[in-house]
Structure 1
Amino acid sequence: MSDLFATAGLDASAPRPLADRLRPGTLAEVVGQEHLTGPDGALTRLLRGGSFGSLVFWGPPGTGKTTVARLLARETELHFEQISAIFSGVPDLRKVFEAARGRRAGGRGTLLFVDEIHRFNRAQLDAVLPVMEDGTVTLVGATTENPSFELNAALLSRARVLLFRSLDDAAVAKLIARAEDLTGRTLPLTEAARGVLVRMADGDGRAALTLAEEVWRSAGPDETFDAETLQTIVQRRAPIYDKAQEGHYNLISALHKTVRGSDPDAALYYLCRMLDGGEDRLFIARRLVRMAVEDIGLADPQALVIANAAKDAFDFLGSPEGELALAQAAIYLACAPKSNAAYAAYKAATRIAKAHGSLPPPRTILNGSTKLMKRLGYGEGYRYDHDEPDAFSGQDYWPDTLGRQHFYEPSERGMEGRYRDRLANWERLRRERRGQD
């Protein structure tokens, strides 16, 4: 592994963090990204072909994006150049490109690694696109944000996006075992505490090794930490959750789908993750209201009342007491009968309304407010439903040239089962009474 440090211009004997000392020397040593670096991984296949184009590495922190980029340069004998999209302006980029052109003239290419590439501004992008296209540099960008939302289309069209996954528990445990082999020391943890440390890392290999170092520094001679002591000593690592970016959208999507899927336990899990990550409670409340009208609708009209009440309760109580109201609403919504019939009807009616928005209603249902309007037939022939048998006239309310449309198809679940029967009865009466007209 010392060859890699020499390549990076580091003294292998100098004190370094454990995460740096354990950097893989080959792609095969990378942990947790077998879909990319394994025998049949995407990057392995590209390297077999002898070259690769520009790439964007998308994934959470601590999953090996920088390390893999460095290894790619090493295995293809490209010069490795690393910059940050935040701290490198256009003048810095021009210097990098000029040096790359000089190397290219001498027969060696350059791999330009851009950290936080989603931070590229328009000027930086305009500078880098031409050198990507003419082969002056092979660009490898790294981002923790969804490229579909955060990267310019011009860049995405020129680079292949590869997904780096959060390390699972087995991959984190493997990293810790490697650290123990490298240092010749076993972590002074009980089996339960070891599992807690793995979970604290939250899929971040760098964080796992940093936590391991903290344990070794804190432990006295012959001291072994149990799970409770471990959490006291290293403290709990804050969840990776950016309220304005990818984690925000992923977790609210997960909460919505678990409610829709009638799984109250999963709904509570994602709700609590959002609360623990510091999400805006009123944002959650608004989304619960949306779930009530989109996925439950008239199958249980009380769902909207409950969701609104939870919002009001949180407004009244605040955190943390009011969070229980949000949890209660999430459970209620997950347990409620589901129907998107009202939602589907609304979308269908919207399409027709936009397509035929200029059609006048039939004159029979318009008020004859003036003598002229009455002479023109406004309100003529209108039947007041409350005066009809069953308070139902069955008359036609649709524009003459459009004809009767059908949008709302209630399910048989919950209250909508009653509406279904009621609507079927009204349709029967409508046909009968039109036959009498």
Structure 2
Amino acid sequence: MADLFGGTEPQEIRETVREDAPLADRLRPRTLDEVVGQEHLTGPDGAIGRMVAAGKLSSIILWGPPGTGKTTIARLLADAVGLRFASISAVFSGVADLKRVFAEARDHAKLGKRTLMFVDEIHRFNRAQQDGFLPYVEDGTVTLVGATTENPSFELNAALLSRAQVLILHRLDAAALDTLLKRGEAIEERPLPLDEDARAALVASADGDGRFLLNQAETLFSVNLDAPLDPAGLSALLQRRMAVYDKDREGHYNLISALHKSLRGSDPQAALYYLARMLVAGEEPLYVLRRIVRFASEDIGLADPNALVQCLAAKEAYDFLGSPEGELAIVQACLYCATAPKSNAAYKAQKAAWRSAKATGSLMPPPNILNAPTKLMKDIGYGKNYAYDHDREEGFSGANYWPEEMAPETYYAPTPRGFEKRIAERLAYWDELRARAAQE
């Protein structure tokens, strides 16, 4: 039968790899022991290693970056525990395809052969389609192995997650990637035409993606060179790998979170790195700047009131200059915020005040601070005995401005950092004046 995975129908038996197949396919591991970079799962103490040792496989979700071995592990798991292997891709398949796979799995189950059903890009199935897996997983028709590059917590149904164990695959480190290159050199029976620095640059360019690395290596094996390439020569020959960054998915939120927390932690170097990661990957500069503006209010506030001014100036400069020149203004705002004194006092004050407003939203202000534009209002006491602060020597009357049914609250508590230190001193002075007025 043809195979639906990659555009064909499900198949039981892995075809023999042709000699002219891509290098990545020729190097596909034959056993779990040959899988690199995922020893925390495939080793004797790993979740997969223990399942194989027990000869019993539960439904699992393999979550990890591209090129880390999700498909390979699924195929090898079927071989290791003696299950029929059927694969399907959520990109190319619909409900009819799923029904056909389940029907075939039931037919094989009657003959005593259970099925491991591998679903690539499982997060691309909608909620209703994901629900369709549940009865077949529960009755044992299939053992589900799903693969996803997206956070299962956000992309998969809770019901499906409750029936499957999520296993996290790591991006391949330099040692694992170098192992792949050595295997490629062994099968090609010649070294890569690279000097030591270029080889390191090739590994770094893969960004943890083994498939990408082997595709690049295959290109290098296919060219005739008089001498090994240095990093500059390698860069000229091979295309640049674009950073993995989906603007509407987890990578986006991970980086903006890292930027925000680096700013909060007063680490300008790390903040600049994450800012660069986002902008180099193609993020909309104004989105990043909006987040920095928010940071200026949430995490700096009145500890340095100029932080917000700097951010808004950066927005004006970017609007005026555009990219790439205007991005320097965003960098300046980022560095200013990272190096400014920090305070979340305004943020906490907002939250506390909002809670009070929701709880006491119908209380009238005290009559003495209400305007009295009509005679009736004056007759019922609006504005009576209002203390005009400017008439006092200190410019401060110490009057009560809270509803009569409500005790005064303290929402804003300035920190002893930056400009807020002066604010705290001022508030303490006013508290002292207010206490004196209460005694008079």
> How does the TM-score come out when normalised to structure 2?
0.94
Q: 1:332 aligns with which of 333, 336, 344?
A: 336
1:246-395 alignment runs, 5 A limit: 246-395=250-399
Change in 2 beyond 3 A, CA 1:369/1:219: farther
Using the TM superposition, give the Cα deviation of residue 234 of structure 1 relative to its aligned residue in structure 2, in angstroms: 0.5
Change in 2 beyond 3 A, CA 1:348/1:219: farther
Change in 2 beyond 3 A, CA 1:7/1:86: closer
Q: Which amino acid aligns with 2:113?
A: R
Greater shift after overlay, 352-361 or 303-312? 352-361
SS in 2 for 1:389: coil
Aligned to 1:3: none
Using the TM superposition, give the Cα deviation of residue 25 of structure 1 relative to its aligned residue in structure 2, in angstroms: 1.9
**Aligned mates of 1:374, 1:9 — CA distance in 2:** 91
Using the TM superposition, give the Cα deviation of residue 8 of structure 1 relative to its aligned residue in structure 2, in angstroms: 4.3
1:178-222 deviation per Cα after TM superposition (whole angstroms, max 9, x unaligned): 2222222111111111111011101101011111111121242x4
Greater shift after overlay, 382-391 or 41-50? 41-50
Using the TM superposition, give the Cα deviation of residue 410 of structure 1 relative to its aligned residue in structure 2, in angstroms: 1.0
Aligned to 1:218: 223
Aligned to 2:5: none
1:332-373 deviation per Cα after TM superposition (whole angstroms, max 9, x unaligned): 111111111111111111111111112111111111222222
Q: 1:128 aligns with which of 133, 139, 158?
A: 133
1:50-129 alignment runs, 5 A limit: 50-129=55-134
Q: Which amino acid aligns with 2:406?
A: L
**Aligned mates of 1:356, 1:213 — CA distance in 2:** 70
1:66-91 deviation per Cα after TM superposition (whole angstroms, max 9, x unaligned): 11111111111111111011221111
Question: Is 1:157 aligned to 2:171, yes or no?
Answer: no
Gaps of 5+ in 2: 1-10
Aligned to 2:414: 410
Query: 2:30–2:76: 8 Å Cα contact kept in structure 1?
Result: yes
1:55-111 deviation per Cα after TM superposition (whole angstroms, max 9, x unaligned): 111111001111111111111111111101122111111111111111111222111
Query: 1:262–1:334: 8 Å Cα contact kept in structure 2?
Result: yes
Query: 2:17–2:25: 8 Å Cα contact kept in structure 1?
Result: no
SS in 2 for 1:82: strand
Using the TM superposition, give the Cα deviation of residue 385 of structure 1 relative to its aligned residue in structure 2, in angstroms: 1.1
**Aligned mates of 2:162, 2:400 — CA distance in 1:** 54
1:16-59 deviation per Cα after TM superposition (whole angstroms, max 9, x unaligned): 11111111222222111122112321222233333232211111
Using the TM superposition, give the Cα deviation of residue 312 of structure 1 relative to its aligned residue in structure 2, in angstroms: 1.3
SS in 2 for 1:319: coil
Query: 1:59–1:165: 8 Å Cα contact kept in structure 2?
Result: yes
Q: 1:435 aligns with which of 422, 435, 439?
A: 439
Question: Is 1:420 aligned to 2:407, yes or no?
Answer: no
Query: 2:67–2:210: 8 Å Cα contact kept in structure 1?
Result: yes
Gaps of 5+ in 1: 1-5
> How does the TM-score come out when normalised to structure 1?
0.95
**Aligned mates of 2:155, 2:18 — CA distance in 1:** 40
SS in 2 for 1:57: strand
